[in-house]
Amino acid sequence: MAAHRHPCYVGGVEAKAQSTLPRLVFFLHLRQDREVLFPLIEASVESGRIVEVWVRRGLHAQDPQLTDRVRRLGITPKVLSWWRLRTGLFLNWRLGDALITASESTAPPHRLSYHLTCAAKRRGVRTFTLQHGLENVGLTYFDSEYPPGSVEFASDRILIWGPLGGLHPSVGDKTREKCVSVGVPKKYSVLVSEVPQSKQTRVAIFENLHWSRYDSHYTASFERDLLAVIAHYPEIEFVLKGHPSSQWVRAFAKKLSGTTNVHCVDAEAANRDFSGAAVLLHAAAAVITTPSTVALDAAFLDRPVAVATYDLDLDFYKPLPLLRNEADWHVFLAEAHVSEFHRRAERFRETHTVGLVSPPNLIARIDQLSG
């Protein structure tokens, strides 16, 4: 199996000390996993750790840059079939390894990671999973599709962003006892040269309308009000970015024929300026999003951010501005520059997290929990 040692730790006391630490195995299942796992992978490599990266077969085809990025770290990623990940067979587990997943649970989107985690535990491997989103099913969120008691986690430890008291009241004792409050392991910094400049005020619009919580009324309302403000504010540059699992932006772009103040990131193959969410957030003066983790990302970057809620009961997102109609969109866009909106973003961030955690510190915490 491919392993990596940082050259400055070869030989001597440092190498001996590193060899006593668990081998770290990172599993990338979904495209969005890289956002939370890559900072940890990079920190592990830089510290001289023995690191392996396992990738679900098919993901490397969906995201060709992913495996290239792993190779640039000096690691040959192991591309594994669904069957091997599902059974955990022939994976050369070692007693004392630590398996780190971006998200695992019995919820269907994350069930493959769940089965891999179960297989790892049978071989004596310590297992960790991360809170991967602000509204994380089974931790901070339940609904009719995933009612309380329907979601379980196999990992020994679940590393969460906020205080233990911030877990949903319906989280069971079994899950609650696994949770460790560590902070948000994201890196929001980007190079100044990566941020496209504009002479216009730039507003970023994010969506994740593939989620089952959004019915046709919500989607129609969101589209209607977005089209209205695009037409009303020709002096604003709107940049629309979709969730990796959503095709909405591509379809919506067809309704924008002749519109010159909009960029649809996922619909324009040649438009790579805003391929990363962090770059777009840095470039934006204000942010509007459907309910999602983007609201928290914007708050960490001190961007005024509003959440389109309409008829949904989303007090979870207070004290951020909640947009329920077109008039609310106009108020936010007209007043987003005032300091009150920055203070709201700060209070939102402080409510749901214990702050950011640096990747090296989180790896050290995993080592501590592995002992």
Look at 253-262, 280-289, 326-335 and tell me which has the smallest mean pLDDT.
253-262
Is there a single domain that holds both residue 202 and residue 131?
no
Residue 266's pLDDT is 64
Residue 50's pLDDT is 94
**Which region, left, alpha or beta, applies to residue 209 given φ > 0 means left and ψ of -120 to 50 means alpha?**
alpha
Residue 65's pLDDT is 83
2 lies in a domain? no
Is there a single domain that holds both residue 38 and residue 51?
yes
Is there a single domain that holds both residue 42 and residue 170?
yes
Residue numbers of the domain that contains 40: 7-186+356-370
For the chain, how many structural domains are there in total?
Answer: 2
Is there a single domain that holds both residue 177 and residue 28?
yes
Is there a single domain that holds both residue 173 and residue 227?
no
Check whether 2 has a pLDDT greater than 80.
no
Residue 32's pLDDT is 84
Residue 345's pLDDT is 93
HSE at residue 5, side-chain half, CA atoms within 13 A, is 12
Quick one: pLDDT band at residue 145, thresholds 50, 70, 90? Answer: confident
Is there a single domain that holds both residue 14 and residue 150?
yes
Question: pLDDT exceeding 70 applies to what percent of the chain?
Answer: 90
Is there a single domain that holds both residue 174 and residue 62?
yes
Is there a single domain that holds both residue 163 and residue 115?
yes
1 lies in a domain? no
Is there a single domain that holds both residue 230 and residue 345?
yes
363 lies in a domain? yes
Whether the predicted model's global pTM rises above the 0.75 cut: yes
Is there a single domain that holds both residue 209 and residue 63?
no
What tokens appear for 32 in the block?
A: 């969005």
Distance CA 99, CA 153 (A): 14
Average confidence (pLDDT) over 54-65: 87
Quick one: pLDDT band at residue 271, thresholds 50, 70, 90? Answer: very low
19 lies in a domain? yes
| Chain segment 176-219, per-residue pLDDT in tens | 999 999 999 988 876 556 767 777 789 999 998 877 788 899 99
Is there a single domain that holds both residue 70 and residue 219?
no
Residue 138's pLDDT is 95
Check whether 7 has a pLDDT greater than 70.
no
CATH number at residue 19: 3.40.50.2000
Average confidence (pLDDT) over 66-82: 92
What tokens appear for 361 in the block?
A: 């510190």
Check whether 246 has a pLDDT greater than 50.
yes
141 lies in a domain? yes
b/e for 23-48, b at 16 or more Cβ within 10 A?
bbbbbbbbebbbbbbbbbbbbbbebb
Q: What is the mean pLDDT of the chain?
A: 88
Average confidence (pLDDT) over 150-157: 97
Comparing 195 with 155, the larger pLDDT belongs to 155
120 lies in a domain? yes
| Chain segment 112-129, per-residue pLDDT in tens | 999 999 999 999 999 999
Residue 191's pLDDT is 57
